[in-house]
Amino acid sequence: MRSFVRHTRIIVTHYGGPDALQVIEEECPQPRPGEVRVRVLAAGVSLPDVLAREGIHPETPRVPYTPGWDLVGIVDQIGESVSGCRVGESVAAMPIRGCYAQYVCLPQRKLIPAPVDSDPAEAVALILNYITAYQMLHRSAKVKPQQRVLIHGASGGVGTALLQLGQLDRLEMYGTCSAQAAEVVKQLGAIPIDYRNSDFVGEIHRRVPDGVDAVFDGIGGDNLWRSRAALRAGGRVVVYGFQAKLRGGRAASDRRGGRHPIRESAILGWYIARNWLRPGRKSMVPYSIQWLMRWKPTYFRHDLLTLFDLLQQKKIKPLIAHRLPLSQARHAHELLGSGGVIGKIVLIPNG
């Protein structure tokens, strides 16, 4: 007989600030044929969640929707036509939305085995943040040992992932951060540059007259030109976000309250096209984890399993800034929007 178990999930009721997040209770979802139900142990909170809540991320769903890009959990129930999967199995997934919930039903093909003996909060940090870092380093920038790189937002979730993976690749690293985060950035092997009180372009050329080999820029906007100025001839800026569109965790544009998923991608394309017209043999390369996952799903699976292996070998250790219950999703967005978060914020729906 079907059991009517209830669960909690978060929905975004309208495009806007953290007040758009609402806690609801409802009947627990039932897996359809080809799906499994996952009891969520950890769900990541990320900048794309904030951008989608504001209506400006390319992956912004129509409201109401449940946010959450990535999860780690336990298989709880199996739908019809599912084979090779068992109840109790530890799994990871990046469905792009829906993870702020106690239970999620997902197609079996989207699940990747997760290490059973790892902290779920640390494991979930690998999915969005560390895959982004790993693929930008190895598939976009194609870094080599001893090369010099500049990492913007070096104390954040993706930034700390880049630093840890960059250490394994023996890179010479520079990282922009606040003065409060400088010691953490230094401990992770980089030379910190205080972005509030220093000109990072001048600092880079003072230390590396020819410029760095690669810049990882999640800020976007006109910061891309400054990142380009920090490059050596033949270097590349890897562009993976547009944090410049936020002020205090809110959309900086006056056009709030709507869904504009294409606009920022079009603006980024215009920047990249303009870069072709500039001298200096410096390139701008866009990176999108979701599009690479769709075009090359084998890359995504391979890279995540590689990162899980590094986690189990203790070669990487994600920094977890906060572990919060699901009911505090709004507070998690407020923390992320306020800036200064060192590492990853994680929701613990069933903890």
pLDDT recorded at residue 247 = 77
Query: Are the CB atoms for 230 and 198 separated by under 8 Å?
Result: no
DSSP letters for 64-118: SB---S-EEEEEEEE-TT--S--TT-EEEE--SS--SBSEEEEEGGG-EE--TTS
CA distance 347 to 329: 7
CA distance 102 to 322: 18
Query: Checking DSSP bridges between strand 231-239 and strand 283-286, what pairing results, if any?
Result: parallel
DSSP letters for 242-299: -GGGEETTEESSS--SS--TTHHHHHHHHHHHHHHTSSSS-EEEE--HHHHHHH-HHH
pLDDT recorded at residue 22 = 98
* Three-state secondary structure call for residue 335: helix
pLDDT recorded at residue 256 = 56
CA distance 263 to 165: 32
Instruction: Please report the domains of the chain, with CATH numbers, ordered by start residue.
Output: 6-124+317-348 (3.90.180.10), 127-292 (3.40.50.720)
CA distance 312 to 94: 20
CA distance 308 to 304: 6
> Torsion angle, CA of 59/131/174/216, rounded to 10 degrees?
-40
pLDDT recorded at residue 277 = 60
**Closest residue by Cα to residue 89 from 113, 117, 118:** 113
Residues of the chain with pLDDT under 50: 1, 254
CA distance 20 to 16: 6
pLDDT recorded at residue 1 = 43
Residue 198 DSSP class: S
**Closest residue by Cα to residue 78 from 48, 35, 49, 118:** 35
